[in-house]
Amino acid sequence: MNQNDRIIKTEYSEEMQKSFIDYAMSVIIARALPDVRDGLKPVQRRTLYDMHELGIRYDRPYRKSARIVGDTMGKYHPHGDSSIYDSLVVMSQDFKKGMALIDGHGNFGNIEGDGAAAMRYTEARLQKVTQEAFLADLDKDVVDFMPNFDETEKEPTVLPVKIPNILVNGSDGIAVGMVTSIPPHNLCEVIDATKAYLNDENITTRELMRYIKGPDFPTGGIVINQDELLEIYETGVGKIKIRGKVEFEKAKGGKTNVVITEIPYPMIGANIAKFLTDVAALAESKKTQDIVDISNQSSKEGIRIVIELRKDADAENFVNMLYKKTRLEDTFGVNMLAIHEGRPETMNLRQIIKACVDFQFQIATRKYTNLLEREMERKEIQEGLIKACNVIDLIIEILRGSKDRAMAKACLVEGKIDGIRFRSKESKIMATQLMFTEKQANAILEMRLYKLIGLEIEALIAEHEDTLANIYRYEDILDRRDSMAQVIISELDGFKKEYGRARRTVIENGQEAVYKEKEIEETEVYFLMDRFGYAKTIDVATYERNKEAADTEFKYVFPCKNLGKVCLFTNTGQMHTIKVMDLPAGKLRDKGIPIDNVSNYNSKEETIVTIASQSDLNLCELIFVTKLSMMKLVDGGEFDVRSRTVAATKLLDGDEVVSVATLKDQKNIVLQTKDGYFLRFPVDQIPPKKKTAVGVRGMKLGPKDAVEEVYYTKNAVESTIEYKGKTLLLNGLKLGARDSKGVKVRV
């Protein structure tokens, strides 16, 4: 250990707290949240600035996205190329942004969630509005610059954005412990509200909302909670309810097509496919029987999702069902959180506009201060040149009589004539009276002879008059707030005229969607499941016409109610319930649906012992038999449960259910073990138990022996089975007692 080193002892919890706070603030400030002044996150700001520095402007050729991403990452944003390219892609997508900032060329994704092509294929350049409203005055020292991550470059701390971009384009981001979600708004409305604030700084949020009616999503749609918007914009938080736009079209045969032409903003991306799936699921689950067909006919021209309905369908009621049961009606959570004066702050509408206007005054002050300094410098030089033109003969005499530039400059600035040869005493006296400034003297010494032409002198005088006018104008702007406000308003009007567009989203107080669900008449159907686990239902008439084929081809066939449930008993002692309505109804040859898809049953971990209708179980008792010969009689009413899965019986370690059968008119039960022992005894020897009980032993088993099969016999009815290739008469087995060993059958 170095002698100068010293150990600093600190509390672990305090160090963790401090480190986490530092990390959280780094994420909040440097990555996740936008700055209220320009509405941009650091990665967006750096990408736009890098494109500006590379000269990839709106009126120049496109450049490869990989070039932009690589340059941005190497100079300003060393956090990986994916975040930079994702940011570039989003800023080019007009269906996500109220106003796209980047002009993308190539596959930049689409509204249905398809991603952009790799950055090596796509090209990009700045939009005209980005160049004019975001980056135009960077050369006028209007914002501060800071060193980049390795202090080899300079980058702006904020872009000199001339419109309230945070409202126009909105923003979303997740930081540590906080999230921002600002909806996009209409550019014209935002500019009108900004102008209203410039004209009256005491304007309220309510008054601002005369201009900003609400959010204007690029996907259109209908905001249906207009009355709640004032509170949302006054607090900066809340939920905006938005619906898709629906139209009705007449189709062939008197049918009606429901056509969705605009979708809720939260639906963009993969949620469009999910919406289509949800609508199809409504038909499959028989929540509605009105759907004939559904197709997505969307294209570059816009969204068009067509749902064809039955001839007698109630279209209005169907649309209300879509609002209730799908994402055709959705909510946009508003949390107007942004970086303000270096810290995260939830702001209301007035605070955001105030912050943007204050920023406009800051950049305008710096801009016109810089311009005034330039004009004052130009005025000084112009006055020196005009004065020089009046005494041009004397100046030429000084230049010809001087030995070097320094001697001539000293004469022009200080009137020193030492060492200079003059033609006359008058010239010598006049030279001592010259009092040009340093800048004027340099301009005179660098002046070219053609400037002495009459027209050039007149142009210089005219230019001087323009300079004086500019100085007067700039001083007026800097001295009077009203003048500066008018300049800002004039710029805003220019942006509104060139880039404004009509509102897309409708704002209204929509009525609550009321959906009257049609009552389904209870009927009897037949449950069918094949040996591969595919299940379905068919109506009674179809079953009766194909009874022989159905009973032969399917493993489980029994009647049940269409509004009832089916119970699956498995070897693990579980009972899974399935709503019959969840099963597809069709024809005998239809494939059906895997039983795993409509229940908690897992075919990889358990096997089905038997399946029965829950309504039938209520009227009977069930006989449970396990591999270790535990058995019991359970009242079927215990299985009338709402849960999708319950324990049907309790099992010992290493045990599993072999048979579950309903007790009807069976007289005797026959247990067969894998070692070939058979035991026949009366069914009435099986005691009734609760489903939570283990049961009693049915027969004594030898070491490693287990019950393999269970059979039942009736009085005066011969029951035979195939056992090891020969026919075995079960009724011929010796009648024994429960909990005995049984007899070994040798064949």
Going across the sheet that includes 123-126, the strands are 63-64, 123-126, 102-105
State pLDDT tens for residues 439-471: 888 888 888 766 666 667 788 888 889 999 999
Task: For the chain, give percent helix, strand, coil, nearest 5.
Answer: 40, 25, 35
For residue 2, what pLDDT band results from cuts at 50, 70 and 90? low
Domain boundary among 160, 192, 212: 160
Question: CA–CA separation, 40 vs 91, rounded Å?
Answer: 10
Whether residues 311 and 391 share a domain: the answer is: no
Domain boundary among 104, 131, 160: 160
State pLDDT tens for residues 41-100: 999 999 999 999 999 999 999 999 999 999 999 999 998 899 999 999 999 999 999 899
- Told to judge if 472 belongs to the known catalytic residues of this protein, a careful annotator would answer no
For residue 28, what pLDDT band results from cuts at 50, 70 and 90? low
For residue 1, is pLDDT > 60? no
What stretch of H or E contains 653? none
Whether residues 734 and 623 share a domain: the answer is: yes
Whether residues 300 and 401 share a domain: the answer is: no
Closest-CA residue to 742 (of 671, 668, 667): 671
Q: What is the pLDDT of residue 417?
A: 83
Complete DSSP assignment for 71-138: HHHHHT--S-HHHHHHHHHHHH-TTTSSS--EEEES----TTSPPPPPTTT-EEEE-HHHHHHTSTTG
Distance of CA 436 to the CA centre of its chain: 66
State pLDDT tens for residues 603-625: 889 999 999 998 888 888 999 99
Q: Which tokens go with 272?
A: 């469009």
Cβ contact 709:732 at 8 Å: no
State pLDDT tens for residues 617-660: 888 899 999 999 999 999 998 998 888 899 999 999 999 999 99
Highest mean pLDDT of the ranges 248-262, 395-409, 472-486: 472-486
pLDDT (average), residues 693-722: 89
Whether residues 321 and 364 share a domain: the answer is: no
CATH number of the domain to which 732 belongs: 2.120.10.90
Residues sharing a CB contact under 8 Å with residue 424, sequence separation 6 or more, in sequence order: none
Whether residues 711 and 602 share a domain: the answer is: yes
Instruction: Look at residue 550 and tell me if it is in a domain.
Output: no
Complete DSSP assignment for 358-374: HHHHHHHHHHHHHHHHH
Residues sharing a CB contact under 8 Å with residue 369, sequence separation 6 or more, in sequence order: 478
Of residues 283 and 100, more confidently modeled: 100
Q: What residues are paired with 344 via a beta bridge?
A: 339
3-class secondary-structure state, position 350: helix
For residue 568, what pLDDT band results from cuts at 50, 70 and 90? very high
**Overall number of domains in the chain:** 4
Instruction: Look at residue 567 and tell me if it is in a domain.
Output: yes
pTM: 0.74
Instruction: Look at residue 13 and tell me if it is in a domain.
Output: no
State pLDDT tens for residues 575-586: 999 999 888 888
Output the CA–CA distances (angstroms, integers) from residue 255 to 245, 252, 308, in the order listed: 20, 6, 7
For residue 25, what pLDDT band results from cuts at 50, 70 and 90? low
Q: Which of 23, 121, 677, 711 is catalytic?
A: 121
Mean confidence (pLDDT) of the chain: 89
What is the bridge-based pairing of β-strands 506-507 and 222-223?
A: parallel
Whether residues 376 and 310 share a domain: the answer is: no
Whether residues 392 and 287 share a domain: the answer is: no
Q: Which tokens go with 1?
A: 């250990």
Whether residues 322 and 372 share a domain: the answer is: no
Instruction: Look at residue 98 and tell me if it is in a domain.
Output: yes
Q: What is the pLDDT of residue 235?
A: 95
Whether residues 575 and 447 share a domain: the answer is: no
Closest-CA residue to 69 (of 33, 44, 93): 44
Of residues 665 and 265, more confidently modeled: 265
Closest-CA residue to 282 (of 518, 69, 82): 518
Percent of the chain clearing pLDDT 90 (strictly above)? 60
For residue 435, what pLDDT band results from cuts at 50, 70 and 90? confident
Whether residues 711 and 627 share a domain: the answer is: yes
Instruction: Look at residue 8 and tell me if it is in a domain.
Output: no
pLDDT (average), residues 666-688: 92
pLDDT (average), residues 488-497: 95
Instruction: Look at residue 228 and tell me if it is in a domain.
Output: no
For residue 23, what pLDDT band results from cuts at 50, 70 and 90? low
Residues sharing a CB contact under 8 Å with residue 688, sequence separation 6 or more, in sequence order: 621, 632, 633, 634, 635
Whether residues 717 and 579 share a domain: the answer is: yes
Q: What is the pLDDT of residue 558?
A: 93
Q: What is the pLDDT of residue 20?
A: 62
Q: What is the pLDDT of residue 473?
A: 93
For residue 587, what pLDDT band results from cuts at 50, 70 and 90? confident
Q: What is the pLDDT of residue 22?
A: 62
Domain boundary among 479, 499, 519: 499
Q: Which tokens go with 152?
A: 């080899």
Q: Tokens 């939260």 identify what position?
A: 266
Instruction: Look at residue 188 and tell me if it is in a domain.
Output: no
Q: What is the pLDDT of residue 387?
A: 83
Q: Which of 362-366, 483-487, 522-526 is least confident?
A: 522-526
Q: Which of 28-37, 150-159, 701-710 is least confident?
A: 28-37
Cβ contact 338:34 at 8 Å: yes
Whether residues 476 and 584 share a domain: the answer is: no
Q: What is the pLDDT of residue 10?
A: 73
For residue 331, what pLDDT band results from cuts at 50, 70 and 90? very high
Q: What is the pLDDT of residue 461?
A: 86
Q: What is the pLDDT of residue 219?
A: 94
The residue type of 358 is D
CATH number of the domain to which 87 belongs: 3.90.199.10
What residue numbers bound the domain in which 732 lies? 559-744
